[in-house]
Amino acid sequence: MNVLIVEDEILLAMELSFLIEEVGCVDVGHAMSSTDALAMAADLRPDLALVDVHLQDGPTGIDLARHIASDCGVVALFMTANVKRLPADFAGACGVVGKPYSEHGMKAALRYLDICLRDGRAPGLAPAGLQLAPAWAERWGLGDLPRIA
């Protein structure tokens, strides 16, 4: 799948780029602010956007996720240090990976979401380190199962 990285720490974005390629996905671009991310999402229409909640223009990641979902149908995955602060509906994003994530944890999340987005169904429970949004867990057929393994 094509992945857009929205992260204001450039070294983290560099490492994410490697992880994305290593799981067989494509890094299509990198934005550091909501403004840039909105433009890139509309232009590139990635399958998934990795979105840090705190960006160069402030804590705008949550609103960004809502906009890219409604404006261009791009699915976001949050990356954040404070999972509890996310709204209950996850602003339309499919889930969250808590920071600091491990290499293994992020790769497992990417592989899992690649399958979910491709097949429209989850291959099983989400891997440790990935918490799915309730709406997406339901959509991918995990409705009756706990969101976190």
Partner 1 sequence: MTTPGFLSPPTRRRAASREGEGAGREDLERALAEKTALLHEIDHRVKNNLQLVSSLLLLQARHAADPVVRQALRAAQARINAVAIVHRRLFQGEDPECFDVAAFLRDMVEDVIGGSGRTDIRVTLDLERTDLPTAQAAPLALLISELLGNAILHGFPDGREGAITVTAAREGDQLRIEIADNGVGVPTTGSTPGIGQTIVKHLCSQLHTDCQVADAGPGVRATVRLPLDGVR
Residues that bind partner 1 (CB under 8 A): 9, 11-12, 14-15, 18, 54, 81-84, 98-105, 108, 128-129
CB of 102 to partner 1, least distance (A): 5
**Residue (59 or 134) nearer to partner 1, CB:** 59
Q: Which C-beta is closer to partner 1: that of 12 or that of 44?
A: 12
For residue 5, the minimal CB distance to partner 1 (Å) is 12
DSSP helix/strand/coil, 135: helix
> How do the residues of the chain divide into helix, strand and coil, expressed in percent and rounded to 5?
45, 20, 35
For 121-144, letters b (16+ CB in 10 Å) and e give ebeebbbebbbbbeebbebbebee
Q: For the CB of residue 125, give the shortest distance to partner 1 in the complex, in Å.
A: 13
Say if residues 83 and 35 touch (Cβ distance below 8 Å): no
Tell the smallest beta-carbon distance from residue 30 to partner 1 (Å).
Answer: 14
Please say which residue, 7 or 67, places its beta carbon nearer to partner 1. Answer: 7
